[in-house]
Amino acid sequence: MRITLRVWRQLGPTDPGRLETRDVPDVSPDMSFLEMLDVVNEGLIAAGETPIAFDHDCREGICGACSMMINGVPHGPNRATTTCQLHMRTFRDGDTIVVEPWRAKAFPVVRDLVVDRSALDRIISAGGFIGVSTGSAADANATPIPKTVADRAMDSAQCIGCGACVAACPNASAMLFTAAKVVHLGLLPQGQPERYRRVLSMVRQMDLEEFGGCTNFGECQDACPKEINVAVIGRMNADFLKASLSNRDEAA
C-alpha cells in the first residue's frame, strides 16, 4: 500500500518545527507503524537525509516509549494499543497520516517525535514507591488481600507511563497517570503507611510540573493503551481531600 505521511520535524527544543510531507510508496499492511517509520528512515539515510527521530524500546506494548499522536489520537485509532502494536492494515491505501509529538508544556520536544517525559518520573520520585525495606520475598499468601482489591490494584499497576493520557487531554492533565500510581499503591496493605503522604506529594509534584487540571472530559481513559479507568482519579481525589484535612507532619 501507499500512504502519505505528514510528520512533525523539529531539529531541537528551540527550533519552531514544521509538518513535512513524505510519500511512502512501499508499505506492507503487515508492518507495525514503527516498522513503517523504520523503512522511511532507511530511505532517508540512503538519500543522505536525517532520519525521523522517534522513541521506541520494547516494541511489544509494555515499555510506553513509542509515544506519538497519529491522526489526532495518541498511538493511533485502535483501542488499547501502543504505536508499536498498531499495524498498517489499520489504514487504507492512499491514506494521509499526520504524526505529531505529544503536546504539553511539561513534555518539551527533544527532536521530531521525541519528547522529554521526565516530568512523569519526577512525579514517581515524589512518592510513587513504598519506602520500607521489604527484606527477601515473603510467602505469597502471607498478607491476605481480597481478590477484588488485588485486581483493582493490578489494573492501575498496568500503567506504562507512556503519557497518552496527557497527550489526549484537552487540559494536558496528568491526572490519570498520577492517579494510577497513587491508587495502585494506596489499595495494597504495603502501601498504607505512606498512603496519605504519598498522594499529597505526588499531586504537588504533578502541579509543579505544570500539567493542567482535570475537567472530566474522559479523553485520557479512552486513549490509555492499558485501559486504565478514570475511577482511579475519583479515588485519588478522595484520598487527596482526606489527606489534606487529616495530614499531620509530626505527632501532635
Partner 1 sequence: MHWARAFAESTIGKKIFMAASGVILVGFVLVHMTGNLLMFQGPAAINHYSAFLKSSAPLLWAVRITLLVSVAVHIGSAWSLTLVARAARPARYARHHAQVSTWGARSMRTGGVLLFGFIVFHLLHLTTGNVHPEFSPSDVYGNVVVGLRMPVVAAFYVVAMIALGLHLAHGVSSLFQTLGLNHPHWNPIRHRLAIVLAVLVFTGFSTIPLAVAFGVLR
Which residues sit at the interface with ligand FES, rule CB under 6 A?
Answer: 56-59, 61-66, 82-84
Out of partner 1, ligand FES, none, which partner does residue 234 contact, by CB within 5 to 8 A per kind?
partner 1
Which of ligand FES, partner 1, none does residue 66 bind (CB under 5 to 8 Å by kind)?
ligand FES
Are 90 and 188 a contacting pair, CB within 8 Å? no
Residue 139 DSSP class: P
Rounded to a whole number of angstroms, the minimum distance from the CB of residue 42 to partner 1 is: 26
Distance of CA 143 to the CA centre of its chain: 31
CB nearer ligand FES, residue 63 or residue 124 = 63
Across the chain, the runs of DSSP E, i.e. the strands, are 3-9, 18-24, 69-70, 73-74, 96-100, 109-111, 114-115
SS3 at position 150: helix
Residue 215 interacting partner from ligand FES, partner 1, none (CB closer than 5 to 8 Å by kind): partner 1
In angstroms, what is the minimal distance from the CB of 113 to ligand FES?
12
Binding residues for partner 1 (CB under 8 A)? 6, 8, 19, 69, 71-73, 98, 100, 103-106, 168, 170-173, 200, 203-204, 206-207, 210-219, 221-223, 230-231, 233-241, 244-245, 247
Q: How far is the CB of 6 from partner 1 (least distance, A)?
A: 8
Least distance to ligand FES, CB of residue 250, Å: 43
> Any alpha helices (H) in 1-115, and if so which ranges?
33-46
Our CB check for ligand FES shows the closer of 62 and 145 to be 62
Q: State the pairing for strand pair 114-115/109-111.
A: antiparallel
Q: How many residues belong to the chain?
A: 252
Which of 82/178 has CB closer to ligand FES? 82
Q: Which is nearer to partner 1, 143 or 244 (CB)?
A: 244
> Could you tell me which of 212, 51, 185 has the C-alpha nearest to residue 130?
185
Q: How many CB atoms lie within 10 A of CB 226?
A: 18
Would you say 33 or 196 has its CB closer to ligand FES?
Answer: 33
Q: Closest approach of Cβ 57 to ligand FES, in Å? A: 5
Name the residue nearer to ligand FES (CB basis): 66 or 188. Answer: 66
Three-state DSSP at 116 gives coil
Classify residue 212 by its DSSP letter: B
Query: Residue type at 90?
Result: T
Q: Which does 69 bind (CB under 5 to 8 A by kind): partner 1, ligand FES, none?
A: partner 1
With beta carbons less than 8 A apart as the criterion, state whether 112 and 52 touch: yes
Q: How far apart are CA 222 and CA 70, in angstroms?
A: 15
